[in-house]
Amino acid sequence: MQTENILLQDWQTPFKMPPFEAIRDRDFLPAFDEAMRLHLAEAGQIAGNPAEPTFANTIEALERAGQALRNTASVFFNLVGADTNEERQNIERAISPKLSAHAMVILTDPELFARIAKLFETAASLGLNAEQAQLLENYHKKSVRAGAKLDAPSKARLQEIATRLSELQTAFAQNVLAAEKSFQLTLEGEDDLKGLPDFVRQGAAEAATALGLPGKHVITLSRASIEPFLEFSERRDLREKAYKAYSARGETAGATDNRPLIGEILTLRAERAKLLGYDTYAACQIANTMAKTPANARQLLEDVWGRAREKAEQERAALEAIAQSEGHNEPLAAWDWHHYAEKRRSTEYRLDGRELMPYFELNNMIAAVFDTARRLFGLDFKEVSGVPVYHPDVRVFEVLDRAGKLVGVFLGDYFHRPSKRSGAWMSTFRDQERLDGEVLPIVVNVLNFTKGSPTLLSLDDARTLFHEFGHGLHGLLSDVTYSSLSGTGTDRDFVELPSQLFENWLLQPETLSRFALHAETGEPMPAELLNRVLGARKFNQGFATAEYAASALFDLDIHEAPKPEAVHPEVFEEALRARIGVPDAIALRHRPAHFQHIFAGSSYAAGYYTYLWAEVMEADAFGAFEEAGDIFDPAVAQRLYECVYSSGGKMKPDEAYRAFRGRDPSPEPLIGKRGLTLSSEA
């Protein structure tokens, strides 16, 4: 393409990586405008083609269309998540509604939809392979759900809704980031630091230096900062202050208050669902997933919730007994749970985070995920330099198969910074496809660990690293023809299977004995400590399951509310807590005003249940390796590669799972894994 805008050029860089140093923020808006113009022109040519519609001249042509827009959007939105600034946030607010409107125009174009519909109606006679049939079905489904079958006024209203929702969801995410950046708890002197081990102090010192307070110690609202503080700080008043700030993200009065946005988001989503013929937004969202109906999703959550609540109540009683033994007779509060859970783990399992974390050094854990991928799928990760990156912290690895052939590029962005949104995620700068020749994926894992010298991870941090790398493998191992079906381009309640399944290889003796090496001495984790780690795998699972399941039930409930315009999120939250009996000392994992999964976008809206849905499959799937007697069994790994990690969206999820396991999943392995079968012991 002849253009001076670097975003629209053919990049002559290693791996065709975006040339980040040459891209200026001012390039984005004109690039988006030109890319949308080109996309509309391409779609117009397809719609106006006088030839009879064929799979090639319609569906494959649509797959080719919009490449410039995909390139620009992938660069921009990856930067907005991982390394944003005020100008990028302004651009995001300006461009998000335009992109939403643009997509609706193409999806609901009458001539284009007529071609798609004709192909869909005659699909059985077209001689399509399974992947092509799935792609055609997806295009038809997307168009119908965008309103292609509706009358003109309804289409126009759906476009207005989509545009406004894009504005609201963008604002929601930016408000959470603003709240996280606005808080800092400065620890003054040894009394404020009481109970904090060296690695927490070091992280707090580095956070203070980054904030222009050298010589101080600062706790931020980064999860990697606040969770160890809540675990180890002996200052209950400071734990309360930090916890309340973390819990209240997005609900402080003023310009960044998310509560007013929630009601409008819910109202618009409900209206959209009604226009498309559904009673509720939850029904609309779940109709095209493995669960099919909100009732099916709710059944799983409520089955697990009852067990989790009872287990959590037993855990609470045990923690209160510890607190009372120290002279604290008031009821256990939410800012106490992590603290006394750590003490209980130290006492009952003789596991202390201060003893454990030196064995989970970041570089060793990265080596562990790479080695697991090698033993399962024959992949080799080689770090390379001289490749453009968007931040100096980003590491680049070329990914090779058993024959030494390049299969993709992996980026690791591991450390917290104020310009990065909280949490952890996988994304792509380019998806795998081979419609017009092999296109290799560029996959990125973004995390928020506290940088140290060395960087030490908690056990939960290490699980997160394995989880996101599982998503990364889903993108890297993709083996499809069409980019729309690549990698994570599958049903939302299946997409978490590869990530949650990969977590299983962390807490295996074969992994820990080789990679859990002490950060200072290099000595492997002693067998006795390793056994204690393995023995505590079910510790605190009542709490972990309850806080998650309560959030998932909140998500379903609020998206089935009969009068969403009247919903007050905090009142709704309290009503849910009372109805299902959430213990007072347990907060929802995500409170409404910072529940970005469901309000900063629509992918997980009425879909937060999918983590548990996928975990049923994951726990059952790992059983295939256990039954084989080898957690790296080659035959099982090959089936896993073919049916799950490489198949993207070209197979229906239930068919893909049955092809791997030979049957539907059983929920019993999940119950056992989480230790929710109640006994006399908490």
Structure confidence at residue 680 (pLDDT): 37
For residue 612 the two structure tokens come to 């548990």
| pLDDT value of residue 223 | 87
Q: pLDDT at position 369, please?
A: 98
- What pTM value is reported for the model? 0.94
The answer to whether 609 and 291 are in contact (CB under 8 A) is yes
- Give residue 293's region: left, alpha or beta (phi > 0; psi -120 to 50): beta
Dihedral sign for Cα atoms in the order 494, 499, 504, 505: positive
Comparing CA positions, the residue from 244, 207, 240 lying closest to residue 225 is 207
Q: What is the pLDDT of residue 1?
A: 56
Burial of 405: CB neighbours in 10 Å, binned 0-12, 13-18, 19+: exposed
Q: What pLDDT is recorded for position 254?
A: 86
CA dihedral 279, 282, 283, 285 (to 10 degrees): 130
Residues of the chain with pLDDT under 70: 1-2, 678-682
CA distances for 152 relative to 108, 146, 246, 307, 666, angstroms: 10, 12, 45, 50, 46
> What tokens were used for 347?
């006492």
| Domains, in order of start, for the chain | 6-149 (1.20.1050.40), 183-237 (no CATH), 358-535 (1.10.1370.40)
- ω into residue 667 within 30 of 0, thus cis? no
What pLDDT is attached to residue 681? 40
Helix axes 569-580, 541-558, angle to 10 degrees: 130
Instruction: Judge whether 468 counts as a catalytic residue.
Output: yes
468, 496, 547, 618: the catalytic one is: 468
The reported pLDDT for the residue numbered 679 is: 44
